[in-house]
Structure formats: structure tokens, C-alpha cells
A = this chain, B = another copy of it.
Amino acid sequence: MSALSPALIEALYDRFGDRFSTSQPLREQHGRGESHHIAAIPDAIVFAENTEDVAETVRLCAAEGVPVVAFGAGTSLEGHLSAVRGGVSIDLSRMSQIVRISAEDLDCTVEAGVTREQLNAHLRDMGLFFPIDPGANASIGGMASTRASGTNAVRYGTMRENVLSLTVVLPSGQIIRTGGRARKSSAGYDLTRLFVGSEGTLGIITEVTLRLYGIPETTSAALCSFENVEQAVAAAIAVVQLGIPVARMELMDRGLIEAVNAYSNLSLKIEDTLAFEFHGSPASVQEQVEMVAGIVGDNGGKDFEWANTPEERNRLWKARHNAFYAVVSQRANAKGWSSDVCVPVSQLSACILDTRELLRSCSVPAAILGHVGDGNYHVVFAVDPTSQAELDEVAAINKKMVEYAISVDGTSTGEHGVGTGKIKYLRQEHGDAVDLMAVIKNAIDPKGIMNPGKILPNDVSPAV
């Protein structure tokens, strides 16, 4: 029995035919991401094929006050897909057209369901790439919605910096475009940045215009192992402070290397490690490598181990990208819980060491990894979702990590988003600014139908 009214079901079926579904397996699949968060299943699914499909679904749902939740690739880590008040999941995965590419302007427009791997496969022959890389093969719309970033952000920025404009369906069903294709503009409120990171709570992103980059003339990657995490982090901080334009600088602790070796059939040295990638002209890459080698040496790092061929590099980064799955797969029937904080770089070492202390007595398998160039790090826990004791234990560690990060003027989430998982920290982080977020939410979505129960806590004023 669906909670949707017969009239709404009929209207959606009339409009979408077999692209509308209330099947239980589909509903279950659409009510959760990849993490430990408990699924709340939607009442129905619409498979949208274009912006007008999304707009029409939103219009029909809005007329009855029924919630809508956008679904891209299902890789959310903070419960964004959970239909906590039921409603319709709008699946955008069939909106996978690359609408236009301009090599001259280094930009493109894609439908929201295009995944980053799909986009990069398409761009490769043009000598272009899109650098934002959260690991998972997420959809571009989902990445915009959570303000995602990942391994290349230290050099290329996050979705915040790389989205030029959006097409958005508003809660009324109205379709707007948030900007043009100029690299900069002072023409009015920055609606693009308002929707980037709004997690489907203000509207549904259906098309995204992105900045692109030329594939660097030279790419070079290396691993460097350290006696301990402290040294590795110290080296990473020095690289940032000297402004060396490394493309990637990733921390993997020894626990993670073990998991990655097992999962990806590799034989990386089981030590606390920094993984680097350098982009540029041959001379520039050479110069970066020499500067970083000097810093690494000063901080007790061992010699670089080079991933020289594209195949070796791909294997290395694929292994890194699969870190989440690698940790989770260490245990049968485990679910992943990935914490995510970001702090000013000067605080990073103290934060990570504090986290290591917390992990010493933790009974749940866990590993530390991080985009340390940005001050962003994660702990991935392989948790038994049926054990309340384990969930409580991880929640307590997560809470301490988040509160430490906030106490040093950092953030409760660097790139995963708030979803349902970080709601409880939002006021601690933002104070009364949370109420201003609620004012905006209420003004744009007065019926509260857009992905309800995400981002904003219940104690906001005015209530949402």
C-alpha cells in the first residue's frame, strides 16, 4: 500500500507509464546511499528523462504536498536519499546526456545524471578533463548537490569553484537557470552557489555547466612512506604552506594500506603513506617533485616510489578510490561509516593525532584517510549495522572528531554533506546563521516538500 493518493498515482502513471514505479525492490534501492544510514523508502519512483519530466513530477507532488527526493547514482554517505517523510524519488540516472562541450571556453553542460567517469571518458579524446573526483562514480548533479570535492581539490577546487551555472527545478515546478557561461559575474545574488550544496532541499538540479581543464602535458604520481602519521601530516602541511601546486596529496594510514592491498590485490608497503600526483609541463613537474622531495626528506619520509606508467597510476588511484569499499569489505555484512571533517591546515596534525588516540580503543575496524592538502580527512569504519553497541561506539568517536573540528574553526563536513548524519552539529557549527538558512528554506520551499529532514535541524526558527 502506497501512501500516495490514488489521484497522484494515476496522474504520475498517466504521465510516465512504465517510468513510474511503486515496486518494493526499486523503492528499497532508492531509499539509501552507500553508508550505514538506515534507509527510509520512498513511496514511488519516477525515472526522469529530461528537465520537464522533473518539473512535471514536482508540480504534481507539490499540488498534494508530497515530498520529492532526487536520486543520482546512489553514492551518498550521509543519508541524503532517505525518504524520511515518504514521497517520490526522482531518479535522474537516465538524464545522462552530455549537452555541449566547448574546448575553446573550457566548459561543458551536462545533464545531472551524467557520472564523472562517463564525462571524463567522453572528454579524454579532446584532451580535456573534469578534475573533481570524490572517489565514487557519483553523478555530476549529486556532486553539485553535496558540494563534493575529493582528491584533486587542493589544486582545482571543489564543486563550489567548478560549477559555472545550473538548471534547477524549483518547488513550484518552475524551471530556472542560475547563470550564464561567463567565468565571473557580479549580476545579482549567487544562486549557483546557493543551490550547490543544498542537497535537494531548495530545488532539483537537472543540468550543470562545468569548468573543464586541459589534460596536463605531464602527469606523475608517487607514494612516500613515513614512520608515523604525524610525520606524513607535517610534510603535507609544509607542501601546502609553500604553495606548491600539487594536484593530489592523499594520506593513507597503514590500516588503510592493508585494506587496500587486500581489496585491490596490490602490494603497497604497509606504512603510513602520502600519495602525490603532479600536473604540469615537464619542467614544472620536475620542479614540484624536487621541492616536495626536499620537504618529505626533512620530515623523515622515505624515497618516492613512482607510479610511472598511466596503468600504474590508474591502479594506484583506483585503489585509493576504492578505500571505502576496501575497509568495509574486511568484514562480512559490514556497512561503511565514513566520518568527514575539515580544519584549518595548522590544526590538522593535532586533529588527526587526537583521532588516532580515539581509534586505539575502538572495537570496530577503521582506517584514516584524507585529502590533507585541504585539511580534510575521514575515518572509514566497517560497522555491523545490526549492533547498536557498535553504532553507538562509532557515533561517539564521530561526535568527538566533529566537535574538535568545530572548536578549531573547522567544519563538521568537508565534502560529504549534512544529510541526516550531520544535522545535529549544524547549530554548533553555525550558531544563529542556521536560522537564516531556515528563513531561506521556508521562503523557497514553503510547503517543505524538497528532500525534507535534511540539512536543517528541528530547532530552527522559523520551524521548517
A interface residue numbers (CB < 8 A to B) = 102-107, 146-149, 153, 157-158, 160-161, 170, 174-191, 193-194, 196-198, 202, 213-214, 237, 240-243, 281, 283-284, 287, 340, 342-346, 374-376, 405-406, 409-418, 422, 425-426, 429-434, 436-437, 439-444, 455-456
Contacts and interface: CB of A to CB of B under 8 A. Distances in A.
A401 to B, nearest CB: 13
A286 to B, nearest CB: 8
B183 A374 contact: yes
A462 to B, nearest CB: 10
Given A411-B180, A432-B176, A147 B105 contact: no
B243 A182 contact: no
A184 B376 contact: yes
B284 A410 contact: no
Given A106-B241, A243-B214, A434 B188 contact: yes
A416 B188 contact: no
A283 B425 CA distance: 47
Given A183-B342, A187-B430, A189-B440, 15 more contacts: A176-B432, A179-B411, A181-B409, A182-B374, A182-B375, A183-B344, A184-B374, A186-B197, A186-B411, A186-B415, A187-B412, A187-B413, A187-B426, A188-B430, A284-B284
A415 B283 contact: no
Contact of A182 (B170, B410, B418): B410
Contacts of A434: 188
Given A177-B431, A186-B416, A375-B183, A170 B284 contact: no
Contact of A185 (B181, B411, B455): B411
A440 B425 CA distance: 25
Given A176-B433, A433-B176, A440-B443, A345 B105 contact: yes
Contacts of A186: 146-148, 197, 340, 411, 413-418
27 contacts: A103-B241, A105-B345, A106-B243, A147-B190, A177-B431, A179-B411, A180-B406, A180-B411, A181-B409, A182-B375, A182-B376, A182-B411, A183-B342, A183-B374, A186-B411, A186-B414, A186-B415, A186-B417, A187-B411, A187-B412, A189-B440, A189-B441, A189-B455, A190-B190, A190-B197, A194-B440, A439-B443
A170 B376 contact: no
Contacts of A283: 283-284, 287
B193 A194 contact: yes
B182 A189 contact: no
A196 B103 CA distance: 30
A189 B180 contact: no
Contact of A444 (B237, B242, B439, B455): B439
Contacts of A104: 237, 241, 344-346
Contacts of A374: 182-184
Nearest to A374: B183
Nearest to A415: B186
B375 A191 contact: no
Contacts of A433: 176-178, 191
